[in-house]
Structure 1
């Protein structure tokens, strides 16, 4: 394995945790995240790109209702290993069966055993993924070329992920590269993007790739909240500070001490609250509402906004000193309409995600559906695309394709312009023979390019033998320039 794999270990057994960490620490290919209970592990599964789940069955667990069993449907791409105590082997075995686990192991386990088991589970999971992709592509290849061939990138390594962010576009690749640089520091980060572009996903990815990965991450939306309520949520309050304050409240800044707080809709905070936030960023001071006592907290702040913050600073609506204090890194997530090349891979990602949730096998997406999705402007960005794919997965037939009839009216009615180069060819030559040869050369070259120079597929489409195609490649001196 040449890439980093994230392994979540769900256990309260210190000896088991030590063996897992020691076994997986032998290779730089693993990132180990330890979770004490199902609730914490579920948050990590939803926030991180997880490859393997090692689940230590607690005593008294419901064999049909637990994290590893639900992960079978909610996160089918995650490999699962179940561990159990000797005196509760029957319960652990039932959990393993319900979860369709790769392996069921009784404790105690040793670091060498963990290392080998994890490696084999991930290898089998990757083989299963490739089998699914190849099965879909082989079925597509006999369906009269009505399906797009973008799925091939899943085997060729063209699709990238940064935790839960999926992309192929250069714009997103550049953003992720900068985000990884930001994650390696402890500086605050500003994230700008339209609604639905994935600002919170990017913030979570930064946190889980930082040195604070094992510490809490708390999220607070600042929109639509009064100054006192927001101050209470972040800084806390003491009993009697205001009407309804019947008990002390710690506040997110103190609760996240050593960790990260993500503030969404930053531009909605009031001028007076901006002063409090600036003071916290400068000195780490936390003063709860109604208290005379000052506390301190070490918290990294990530903040997101969807209105041009620099313009608000120039207008005097946002404090300049606070803006520069928050601007350790400033990241801009492009709107989905600015990167339509990401739509096919996001579509595949959401199909795999929701097909497991609703218990439905969807083979693929027709070519005209992808064309319609790429032409649609998506004012709600990735969030809107995800909602549409989830709905279409629920409507699709078992073992069938998502086709045009599953599209909502607003997307189905979008006009799709034919790709450049379709239709008439520019024919060169003075004689009929030269013009025919010019046309033949163009058709053969475009067919080879479309099939990524797979000569068997190109020959089948052109109605030629492989030898016949090879002769034309030689005759016209065609070369793969990719």
Structure 2
């Protein structure tokens, strides 16, 4: 089996404790280099191939933006990220324009979120290298280049066909996919609702690639937690000199998507003042770049998404009713994964197949017990959490089957769905003290046995029971290796 080299990331911060915390967090997945100032960081960059740089903004000497601007000139492919406890929009915009910042991360940060961001940054570095190799190959002949581009388009369109959305033949998504197939050819605005991680962007892409605009651009903007000025610059564009840091003209995403589709993710997060600006663009079908008087006509289809109840937001006065009706000509409501239990094994197999290729680590699949445990869990992170869990299991596995003991504790300890009434007993809805204790005891026994791969000696030792006592309890509760 070929071992993949871990990506190398560079953390730059003048605070030693902050550097140590970053190193401890990232060391799980990356080779971490640290530097306390820009000069040390430059010396490390000259000696190592670095995929991503995470740099504090406010440091003695050079600021993070100044340092990353120099990095951009020497190592343009290295992903550049700023970490700061300040959210000055001028700093953010200058970083985006001058240093080509991939992402602006605010303090305090969450370890899981930081790992996710750095994975994406290193993946972007790899894709840029792959793209350069592909570009060199495509320059060999124009005919071959056109053929490659056409094949890429076909693969992309095929990947996002509604029939390709992975689901069980009796999935709750079937009706939703049928509805999406009906509306995709028509230029109606679509609002996709549902919890985070449920696959809203996947459906947005499917709507685009099944429409008459499939040959035109599909662009995405996450509207959450972004200052109005920066969001306006991203969506509408700006003219050079229109604000501090605007060192060149910038074409907004609405213009970039002309003839195609723009996907506005987390639309429920935009401020009331920006809602007015967006409504005007949707009504007049034209944009005006910041710092310009000229208006430019646009022809785009709008698809938006939110995990909020926008109707409730309208009633509460936090979201404009006229904008809501502009966005929601048709609404598609994606269910949470816990409402699609039949889809869990199908999705898990799909994610496993992709992970085996990515990690070059083949296995035969999941044990039945593993799939049963996964089907009992509620998956608050939805499809995204399931994908992460499958990748984690594959990385940790040492045998040809992914057994239940590889599952995260939160998944393994989930109460079986058939024990819903017992869970309600635990919640205090009804039942005697004895019934509640027995329900809890049954769950503890089940989780312990699975974690020890049904080794009764190890389980009884951990629980402080004799083997005879454990066997008696298993018979009492009907627990055996086939139980699920």
Structure 1 partner of 2:369: 368
Cα RMSD (Å) of the superposition?
3.1
Q: Secondary structure at the match of 1:379?
A: coil
Q: Show the counterpart of 1:405.
A: 405
Contact 1:222 1:263 (8 Å CA) reproduced = yes
Name the counterpart of 1:130.
none
The 1:238–1:404 alpha-carbon spacing in structure 2 relative to 1, beyond 3 Å, is same
| Shift in Å, 1:169 | 3.9
Is the CA contact 2:223–2:269 (under 8 Å) kept in the aligned structure 1?
A: yes
Deviation by residue 1:235-269 (Cα, 9 ceiling, x = unmatched): 01111211111111110001111011100110111
- Deviations along 1:165-213, one digit per CA (max 9) or x if unpaired, are 4444442001111111121111110000101000011101111111111
- 1:353 Cα deviation from its structure 2 partner: 0.8
Q: Deviations over 1:289-322 (max 9, x none)?
A: 1111111110111000001000111111111111
Q: State the alpha-carbon separation in 2 of the partners of residues 288 and 109 from structure 1.
A: 34
Structure 1 match to 2:322? 321
Aligned match of 1:432: none
Change (3 A) 1:417 1:222: closer
Distance 2:364 2:338 in 1: 26
1:278 CA drift (Å)? 1.3
Q: 1:316 to 1:419 in 2, by over 3 A?
A: closer
Q: Distance in 2 between matches of 1:250 and 1:361?
A: 45
Name the SS for the 2:350 alignment partner: helix
Aligned pairs for 1:31-50 (under 5 A) are none
CA contact 2:162–2:177 (8 Å) conserved in 1? no
Match of 1:173 in 2: 174
Q: Structure 1 residues 249 and 381 mapped into 2: Cα distance closer, same or farther (>3 Å)?
A: same
When residues 417 and 195 of structure 1 are mapped into structure 2, their CA distance, relative to the original with a 3 A threshold, is: closer
Deviation, structure 1 residue 275: 1.4
Give 1:204-243 correspondences, 5 Å limit.
204-243=205-244
CA offsets per residue over residues 311-336 of structure 1, 9 Å max, x none? 11111111111111111210000000
Q: Contact between 1:266 and 1:303, CA under 8 Å: does it hold in 2?
A: yes
Q: How far apart are the structure 2 equivalents of 1:84 and 1:247?
A: 30
Per-residue CA distance 1:63-112 (angstroms, 9 max, x = gap): xx857999xxxxxxxxxxxx999x99xxxxxxxxxxxxxxxxx98999xx
Q: Residue 357 and residue 185 in structure 1: after superposition, are their counterparts in 2 closer, same or farther (change >3 A)?
A: same
Is the Cα contact below 8 Å between 1:191 and 1:303 reproduced in 2?
yes
Call closer, same or farther: CA 1:224–1:364 in 2, change over 3 Å.
Answer: same
Describe the superposition over 1:21-62 as per-residue Cα deviations: whole angstroms up to 9, x where unpaired. Answer: xxxxxxxxxxxxxxxxxxxxxxxxxxxxxxxxxxxxxxxxxx
Q: TM-score, normalised by structure 1?
A: 0.54
> Is residue 414 of structure 1 aligned with residue 418 of structure 2?
no
Deviations 1:126-173 (A, max 9, x none): xxxxxxxxxxxxxxxxxxxxxxxxxxxxxxxxxx96445444444200
**Residue in 2 aligned with 1:346?**
347
- For 1:245, what is the secondary structure of its paired residue? coil
Structure 1 residues 264, 165: CA separation in 2 closer, same or farther (over 3 Å shift)? farther
The 1:412–1:180 alpha-carbon spacing in structure 2 relative to 1, beyond 3 Å, is: same
Kept in 2, the 8 Å contact 1:192–1:199? The answer is yes
SS in structure 1 at match of 2:250: coil
Alpha-carbon distance change, 336 to 412 in structure 1, aligned in 2, over 3 angstroms: same
After the TM superposition, which segments of 4 or more aligned residues of structure 1 sit over 4 Å from their partners? 65-70, 106-110, 417-420
Partner residue of 2:285? 284
Structure 2: runs of 5 or more not aligned: 1-128, 151-160, 421-484
| Distance (Å, rounded) in 1 between the aligned partners of 2:246 and 2:146 | 49
**Matched residue SS, 2:342:** helix
Question: Is 1:254 aligned with 2:261?
Answer: no
Conserved 8 A contact 1:163-1:205: no
Mark the CA change 1:176 to 1:228 in structure 2 (over 3 Å): closer, same or farther.
same
Gaps of 5+ in 1: 1-64, 71-82, 89-105, 115-159, 421-482
Q: In 1, Cα distance between the equivalents of 2:231 and 2:369?
A: 47
The answer as to whether partners of 2:208 and 2:214 remain within 8 angstroms in 1 is yes
- 2:93 aligned partner: none
Q: How many residues align?
A: 278
> Contact between 1:161 and 1:167, CA under 8 Å: does it hold in 2?
no
CA contact (8 A) 1:168 1:345 kept: no
Match of 1:295 in 2: 296
